[in-house]
Protein backbone atom coordinates (compact mmCIF):
# COMPACT_ATOMS: atom_id res chain seq x y z
CA UNK A 1 0.00 0.00 0.00
CA UNK A 2 1.23 3.49 -0.87
CA UNK A 3 2.61 5.61 2.01
CA UNK A 4 3.17 9.34 2.39
CA UNK A 5 6.57 9.26 0.65
CA UNK A 6 4.92 7.67 -2.38
CA UNK A 7 2.29 10.42 -2.50
CA UNK A 8 5.04 13.08 -2.52
CA UNK A 9 6.90 11.21 -5.24
CA UNK A 10 3.73 10.87 -7.33
CA UNK A 11 3.06 14.62 -6.96
CA UNK A 12 6.57 15.34 -8.21
CA UNK A 13 5.99 13.11 -11.23
CA UNK A 14 2.70 14.89 -12.04
CA UNK A 15 4.32 18.34 -11.67
CA UNK A 16 7.14 17.27 -14.01
CA UNK A 17 4.63 16.23 -16.69
CA UNK A 18 4.85 12.50 -15.99
CA UNK A 19 2.25 9.76 -15.74
CA UNK A 20 1.12 8.16 -12.48
CA UNK A 21 -1.04 5.04 -12.20
CA UNK A 22 -3.40 5.58 -9.29
CA UNK A 23 -5.92 3.42 -7.46
CA UNK A 24 -9.55 4.51 -7.30
CA UNK A 25 -12.55 2.63 -5.93
CA UNK A 26 -13.67 1.78 -9.49
CA UNK A 27 -10.55 0.75 -11.46
CA UNK A 28 -6.91 1.92 -11.61
CA UNK A 29 -6.40 5.12 -13.59
CA UNK A 30 -3.50 6.42 -15.69
CA UNK A 31 -3.19 9.99 -14.46
CA UNK A 32 -1.56 13.22 -15.63
CA UNK A 33 -1.80 16.87 -14.61
CA UNK A 34 -5.10 17.86 -16.22
CA UNK A 35 -3.74 21.33 -17.04
CA UNK A 36 -0.64 20.09 -18.88
CA UNK A 37 -1.59 19.37 -22.52
CA UNK A 38 1.72 17.61 -23.25
CA UNK A 39 1.32 15.26 -20.28
CA UNK A 40 -2.30 14.64 -21.28
CA UNK A 41 -1.16 13.77 -24.82
CA UNK A 42 1.19 11.17 -23.31
CA UNK A 43 -1.81 9.37 -21.79
CA UNK A 44 -3.28 8.87 -25.26
CA UNK A 45 0.06 7.67 -26.68
CA UNK A 46 0.62 5.28 -23.80
CA UNK A 47 -2.83 3.74 -24.01
CA UNK A 48 -2.97 3.74 -27.80
CA UNK A 49 -6.24 5.63 -27.36
CA UNK A 50 -7.62 7.83 -30.16
CA UNK A 51 -7.14 11.51 -29.13
CA UNK A 52 -10.84 12.28 -29.65
CA UNK A 53 -11.85 10.09 -26.69
CA UNK A 54 -12.39 12.35 -23.67
CA UNK A 55 -10.88 11.71 -20.23
CA UNK A 56 -12.24 12.19 -16.72
CA UNK A 57 -10.79 14.99 -14.56
CA UNK A 58 -10.40 13.77 -10.96
CA UNK A 59 -10.57 16.37 -8.20
CA UNK A 60 -10.12 16.21 -4.41
CA UNK A 61 -13.52 17.53 -3.28
CA UNK A 62 -16.95 18.59 -4.52
CA UNK A 63 -16.17 22.16 -3.40
CA UNK A 64 -13.61 22.40 -6.24
CA UNK A 65 -16.11 21.56 -8.98
CA UNK A 66 -16.79 25.19 -9.91
CA UNK A 67 -13.09 25.69 -10.72
CA UNK A 68 -13.29 23.19 -13.58
CA UNK A 69 -16.64 23.86 -15.23
CA UNK A 70 -18.49 26.79 -16.74
CA UNK A 71 -21.61 26.34 -14.63
CA UNK A 72 -23.05 23.85 -12.16
CA UNK A 73 -26.75 23.12 -12.73
CA UNK A 74 -28.88 22.31 -9.64
CA UNK A 75 -29.11 18.60 -10.52
CA UNK A 76 -25.31 18.37 -10.72
CA UNK A 77 -24.94 20.08 -7.35
CA UNK A 78 -27.39 17.62 -5.83
CA UNK A 79 -25.68 14.58 -7.30
CA UNK A 80 -22.20 15.78 -6.34
CA UNK A 81 -23.31 16.42 -2.76
CA UNK A 82 -24.91 13.00 -2.47
CA UNK A 83 -22.47 10.76 -4.34
CA UNK A 84 -18.99 12.34 -4.05
CA UNK A 85 -16.57 10.97 -3.22
CA UNK A 86 -17.89 8.03 -5.22
CA UNK A 87 -18.26 6.20 -8.54
CA UNK A 88 -20.22 8.94 -10.30
CA UNK A 89 -18.84 11.10 -13.12
CA UNK A 90 -20.65 14.29 -14.10
CA UNK A 91 -20.41 15.73 -17.61
CA UNK A 92 -20.66 19.53 -17.52
CA UNK A 93 -19.70 22.50 -19.67
CA UNK A 94 -15.91 22.83 -19.85
CA UNK A 95 -14.22 25.50 -17.76
CA UNK A 96 -11.27 27.44 -19.23
CA UNK A 97 -8.84 25.62 -17.00
CA UNK A 98 -9.43 22.35 -18.86
CA UNK A 99 -7.41 21.99 -22.06
CA UNK A 100 -9.21 20.61 -25.12
CA UNK A 101 -6.65 17.78 -25.16
CA UNK A 102 -8.31 16.39 -22.02
CA UNK A 103 -11.83 16.55 -23.44
CA UNK A 104 -11.05 15.14 -26.87
CA UNK A 105 -11.94 18.53 -28.34
CA UNK A 106 -15.37 18.67 -26.66
CA UNK A 107 -16.83 21.74 -24.98
CA UNK A 108 -17.95 19.50 -22.12
CA UNK A 109 -15.79 17.95 -19.41
CA UNK A 110 -16.25 14.87 -17.24
CA UNK A 111 -15.42 15.38 -13.54
CA UNK A 112 -15.36 13.06 -10.52
CA UNK A 113 -14.17 12.83 -6.91
CA UNK A 114 -12.92 9.26 -6.43
CA UNK A 115 -13.61 7.46 -3.15
CA UNK A 116 -10.20 6.00 -2.40
CA UNK A 117 -7.85 7.17 0.37
CA UNK A 118 -4.74 6.99 -1.85
CA UNK A 119 -6.37 8.85 -4.75
CA UNK A 120 -7.74 11.49 -2.38
CA UNK A 121 -4.36 11.91 -0.66
CA UNK A 122 -2.72 12.38 -4.05
CA UNK A 123 -5.34 14.86 -5.28
CA UNK A 124 -5.18 16.91 -2.06
CA UNK A 125 -1.39 17.02 -2.04
CA UNK A 126 -1.22 17.82 -5.75
CA UNK A 127 -3.82 20.56 -5.47
CA UNK A 128 -4.89 20.46 -9.11
CA UNK A 129 -6.93 18.07 -11.23
CA UNK A 130 -5.65 14.72 -12.43
CA UNK A 131 -7.08 13.57 -15.72
CA UNK A 132 -7.18 9.80 -15.99
CA UNK A 133 -8.73 7.05 -18.08
CA UNK A 134 -8.37 3.43 -16.99
CA UNK A 135 -4.75 2.27 -16.84
CA UNK A 136 -4.93 -0.27 -19.67
CA UNK A 137 -4.24 -0.40 -23.40
CA UNK A 138 -7.15 0.97 -25.42
CA UNK A 139 -10.03 -1.48 -25.74
CA UNK A 140 -8.67 -3.92 -23.16
CA UNK A 141 -9.94 -5.00 -19.75
CA UNK A 142 -9.54 -2.34 -17.04
CA UNK A 143 -7.05 -3.06 -14.24
CA UNK A 144 -8.39 -3.58 -10.72
CA UNK A 145 -5.09 -4.48 -9.02
CA UNK A 146 -1.54 -3.15 -9.16
CA UNK A 147 -0.42 -6.38 -10.82
CA UNK A 148 -2.94 -5.79 -13.64
CA UNK A 149 -1.53 -2.26 -14.10
CA UNK A 150 2.02 -3.57 -14.35
CA UNK A 151 0.95 -6.30 -16.77
CA UNK A 152 -0.84 -3.72 -18.97
CA UNK A 153 1.60 -0.83 -18.93
CA UNK A 154 4.95 -2.03 -17.53
CA UNK A 155 7.59 0.70 -17.85
CA UNK A 156 5.33 2.99 -19.89
CA UNK A 157 4.09 4.61 -16.67
CA UNK A 158 6.49 6.73 -14.57
CA UNK A 159 5.14 5.80 -11.15
CA UNK A 160 2.57 3.35 -9.81
CA UNK A 161 0.68 3.97 -6.56
CA UNK A 162 -0.50 0.78 -4.86
CA UNK A 163 -3.94 1.05 -3.28
CA UNK A 164 -4.86 -2.63 -3.08
CA UNK A 165 -7.68 -4.23 -5.09
CA UNK A 166 -10.45 -1.86 -6.25
CA UNK A 167 -13.60 -1.98 -4.15
CA UNK A 168 -16.21 -1.40 -6.89
CA UNK A 169 -14.42 -3.10 -9.81
CA UNK A 170 -16.28 -1.49 -12.72
CA UNK A 171 -15.97 2.09 -13.97
CA UNK A 172 -17.99 5.04 -12.73
CA UNK A 173 -21.50 5.84 -13.87
CA UNK A 174 -21.30 8.77 -16.31
CA UNK A 175 -24.20 11.22 -16.13
CA UNK A 176 -24.58 14.08 -18.60
CA UNK A 177 -26.07 17.04 -16.75
CA UNK A 178 -25.71 19.56 -19.58
CA UNK A 179 -29.17 18.90 -21.04
CA UNK A 180 -32.68 19.47 -19.78
CA UNK A 181 -32.82 16.04 -18.13
CA UNK A 182 -29.84 14.14 -16.68
CA UNK A 183 -28.92 11.17 -18.88
CA UNK A 184 -26.77 8.13 -18.14
CA UNK A 185 -24.00 7.82 -20.76
CA UNK A 186 -22.48 4.75 -19.14
CA UNK A 187 -23.90 2.59 -16.32
CA UNK A 188 -21.48 2.04 -13.44
CA UNK A 189 -20.93 1.95 -9.71
CA UNK A 190 -23.83 4.28 -8.87
CA UNK A 191 -27.06 2.68 -10.06
CA UNK A 192 -29.85 4.28 -12.04
CA UNK A 193 -32.13 3.50 -9.08
CA UNK A 194 -29.78 5.46 -6.74
CA UNK A 195 -29.78 8.44 -9.13
CA UNK A 196 -33.55 8.48 -9.51
CA UNK A 197 -34.05 8.31 -5.74
CA UNK A 198 -31.93 11.44 -5.27
CA UNK A 199 -33.24 13.41 -8.25
CA UNK A 200 -36.85 12.38 -7.73
CA UNK A 201 -37.39 11.84 -11.46
CA UNK A 202 -36.70 9.17 -14.10
CA UNK A 203 -33.17 9.26 -15.53
CA UNK A 204 -32.77 8.54 -19.23
CA UNK A 205 -30.42 5.92 -20.61
CA UNK A 206 -30.03 6.90 -24.27
CA UNK A 207 -29.65 3.86 -26.52
CA UNK A 208 -26.83 5.39 -28.55
CA UNK A 209 -24.80 8.37 -27.50
CA UNK A 210 -22.38 9.04 -30.34
CA UNK A 211 -18.91 7.73 -30.96
CA UNK A 212 -17.14 10.11 -28.58
CA UNK A 213 -17.94 7.87 -25.65
CA UNK A 214 -15.39 5.03 -25.81
CA UNK A 215 -17.57 2.83 -23.62
CA UNK A 216 -20.08 2.98 -26.47
CA UNK A 217 -17.74 1.46 -29.05
CA UNK A 218 -18.69 -2.04 -30.15
CA UNK A 219 -15.54 -3.63 -28.70
CA UNK A 220 -14.25 -2.39 -25.35
CA UNK A 221 -13.35 -3.91 -21.99
CA UNK A 222 -12.30 -6.96 -24.00
CA UNK A 223 -10.06 -9.83 -22.89
CA UNK A 224 -7.85 -11.60 -25.45
CA UNK A 225 -10.31 -14.50 -25.69
CA UNK A 226 -13.50 -13.99 -27.67
CA UNK A 227 -16.58 -13.56 -25.51
CA UNK A 228 -19.95 -15.18 -26.32
CA UNK A 229 -23.15 -14.40 -24.44
CA UNK A 230 -25.81 -17.12 -24.37
CA UNK A 231 -29.12 -17.77 -22.64
CA UNK A 232 -28.54 -19.43 -19.24
CA UNK A 233 -30.50 -22.56 -20.18
CA UNK A 234 -28.21 -23.10 -23.19
CA UNK A 235 -24.92 -22.26 -21.46
CA UNK A 236 -23.78 -25.77 -20.55
CA UNK A 237 -24.65 -27.25 -23.95
CA UNK A 238 -23.03 -24.36 -25.88
CA UNK A 239 -19.86 -24.53 -23.79
CA UNK A 240 -19.50 -28.27 -24.33
CA UNK A 241 -20.24 -27.95 -28.03
CA UNK A 242 -17.53 -25.32 -28.46
CA UNK A 243 -15.07 -27.30 -26.31
CA UNK A 244 -15.81 -30.37 -28.46
CA UNK A 245 -15.19 -28.30 -31.61
CA UNK A 246 -11.66 -27.54 -30.42
CA UNK A 247 -12.00 -24.25 -28.57
CA UNK A 248 -10.40 -23.84 -25.16
CA UNK A 249 -13.57 -22.69 -23.47
CA UNK A 250 -13.65 -20.61 -20.31
CA UNK A 251 -17.01 -20.43 -18.55
CA UNK A 252 -18.20 -17.72 -16.17
CA UNK A 253 -20.87 -19.79 -14.48
CA UNK A 254 -23.85 -17.83 -13.11
CA UNK A 255 -24.94 -18.68 -9.54
CA UNK A 256 -28.23 -20.18 -10.82
CA UNK A 257 -26.14 -22.88 -12.56
CA UNK A 258 -23.80 -23.43 -9.64
CA UNK A 259 -24.61 -27.14 -9.42
CA UNK A 260 -24.17 -27.76 -13.16
CA UNK A 261 -21.17 -29.80 -14.28
CA UNK A 262 -19.58 -28.28 -17.37
CA UNK A 263 -16.86 -29.89 -19.45
CA UNK A 264 -14.72 -26.90 -20.39
CA UNK A 265 -11.08 -25.77 -20.28
CA UNK A 266 -11.74 -23.56 -17.20
CA UNK A 267 -14.80 -22.74 -15.14
CA UNK A 268 -15.16 -19.81 -12.75
CA UNK A 269 -18.23 -19.90 -10.49
CA UNK A 270 -19.60 -16.36 -10.30
CA UNK A 271 -20.42 -14.95 -6.87
CA UNK A 272 -24.05 -14.56 -5.88
CA UNK A 273 -23.84 -10.89 -4.91
CA UNK A 274 -23.70 -8.27 -7.68
CA UNK A 275 -21.22 -6.30 -5.59
CA UNK A 276 -18.78 -9.22 -5.51
CA UNK A 277 -19.42 -9.95 -9.20
CA UNK A 278 -18.60 -6.36 -10.25
CA UNK A 279 -15.55 -6.37 -8.02
CA UNK A 280 -14.25 -9.58 -9.56
CA UNK A 281 -15.43 -9.25 -13.18
CA UNK A 282 -12.24 -7.91 -14.81
CA UNK A 283 -10.04 -10.22 -12.75
CA UNK A 284 -12.11 -13.23 -13.89
CA UNK A 285 -11.71 -12.22 -17.55
CA UNK A 286 -7.96 -11.78 -17.08
CA UNK A 287 -7.73 -15.14 -15.29
CA UNK A 288 -9.44 -16.94 -18.19
CA UNK A 289 -6.96 -15.31 -20.59
CA UNK A 290 -4.14 -16.48 -18.32
CA UNK A 291 -5.46 -20.04 -18.34
CA UNK A 292 -5.16 -19.99 -22.13
CA UNK A 293 -8.87 -19.87 -22.96
CA UNK A 294 -9.69 -18.63 -26.45
CA UNK A 295 -13.46 -18.46 -25.98
CA UNK A 296 -15.32 -17.22 -22.91
CA UNK A 297 -18.96 -18.19 -22.56
CA UNK A 298 -21.36 -16.67 -20.05
CA UNK A 299 -24.89 -15.28 -19.60
CA UNK A 300 -25.87 -11.72 -18.70
CA UNK A 301 -27.02 -10.96 -15.15
CA UNK A 302 -30.41 -9.30 -14.58
CA UNK A 303 -30.11 -5.68 -15.71
CA UNK A 304 -31.00 -3.89 -12.52
CA UNK A 305 -28.78 -2.18 -9.96
CA UNK A 306 -25.10 -3.02 -10.49
CA UNK A 307 -26.20 -5.76 -12.91
CA UNK A 308 -26.72 -3.03 -15.54
CA UNK A 309 -23.04 -2.03 -15.39
CA UNK A 310 -21.88 -5.65 -15.50
CA UNK A 311 -24.14 -6.46 -18.46
CA UNK A 312 -22.93 -3.30 -20.26
CA UNK A 313 -19.26 -4.36 -19.91
CA UNK A 314 -19.97 -7.96 -20.93
CA UNK A 315 -21.83 -6.78 -24.05
CA UNK A 316 -18.87 -4.59 -25.05
CA UNK A 317 -16.43 -7.40 -24.30
CA UNK A 318 -18.51 -9.58 -26.65
CA UNK A 319 -18.76 -6.83 -29.30
CA UNK A 320 -17.27 -7.27 -32.77
CA UNK A 321 -13.47 -6.90 -32.67
CA UNK A 322 -11.67 -4.53 -35.02
CA UNK A 323 -10.16 -6.45 -37.93
CA UNK A 324 -6.40 -5.83 -37.89
P1 LIG B 1 -12.29 5.35 -19.62
O2 LIG B 1 -13.54 4.66 -19.22
O3 LIG B 1 -11.17 4.90 -18.79
O4 LIG B 1 -12.03 5.19 -21.07
O5 LIG B 1 -12.42 6.93 -19.24
C6 LIG B 1 -13.17 7.97 -19.61
C7 LIG B 1 -14.65 7.87 -19.77
O8 LIG B 1 -15.29 9.13 -19.53
C9 LIG B 1 -14.99 7.51 -21.19
O10 LIG B 1 -15.99 6.53 -21.26
C11 LIG B 1 -15.42 8.81 -21.79
O12 LIG B 1 -16.25 8.69 -22.87
C13 LIG B 1 -16.10 9.50 -20.64
N14 LIG B 1 -16.11 10.96 -20.85
C15 LIG B 1 -15.14 11.81 -20.54
N16 LIG B 1 -15.46 13.07 -20.91
C17 LIG B 1 -16.68 13.02 -21.47
C18 LIG B 1 -17.55 13.99 -22.05
N19 LIG B 1 -17.21 15.28 -22.11
N20 LIG B 1 -18.71 13.56 -22.55
C21 LIG B 1 -19.06 12.26 -22.47
N22 LIG B 1 -18.28 11.29 -21.93
C23 LIG B 1 -17.10 11.66 -21.44
MG1 LIG C 1 -11.22 2.41 -20.12
Q: Among residues 165, 27, 3, which one has the least CA distance to residue 89?
A: 27
pTM: 0.95
Atom of ligand 1 nearest to the CA of 110: 16
List phi, psi (to 5°) of 54.
-65, 155
Residues with CB under 5 A from ligand 2 (ion): 134
| Cα 132 to ligand 2 centroid, rounded to whole Å | 9
- Report the pLDDT value the prediction gives residue 168, as an integer from 0 to 100: 98
Among all bound ligands, the one having the nearest atom to the CA of 209 is 1
Q: Which residues of the chain have pLDDT under 50?
A: 209-212, 214-215
Instruction: State which fold the 226-317 domain adopts.
Output: Rossmann fold (3.40.50)
What are the φ and ψ backbone dihedral angles of 129, each rounded to 5 degrees?
-95, 150
Alpha-carbon span 187 to 205, nearest angstrom: 8
pLDDT at 206: 72
The answer regarding whether domain 4-199 maps to CATH 3.90.870.10 reads yes
Give the closest residue (by CA) to ligand 1 atom 1: 133
Domain residue spans in the chain?
4-199, 226-317
Which of 44, 133, 182 to mutate to test ligand 1, by most ligand atoms within 8 A of the CB atom?
133
- What is the reported pLDDT for 205? 84
Cα(127)–Cα(115) distance, integer angstroms? 17
Amino acid sequence: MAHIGDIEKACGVLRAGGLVALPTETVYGLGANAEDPVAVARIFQTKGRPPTHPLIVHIAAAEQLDEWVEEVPAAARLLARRFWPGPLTLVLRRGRRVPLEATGGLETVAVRVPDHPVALALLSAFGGGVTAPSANRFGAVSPTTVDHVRAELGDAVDFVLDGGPCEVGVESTIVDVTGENPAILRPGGVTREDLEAVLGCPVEVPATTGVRVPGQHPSHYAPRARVALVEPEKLVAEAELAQGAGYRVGVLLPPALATARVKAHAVIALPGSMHAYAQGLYGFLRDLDQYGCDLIITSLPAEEGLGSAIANRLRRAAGPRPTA
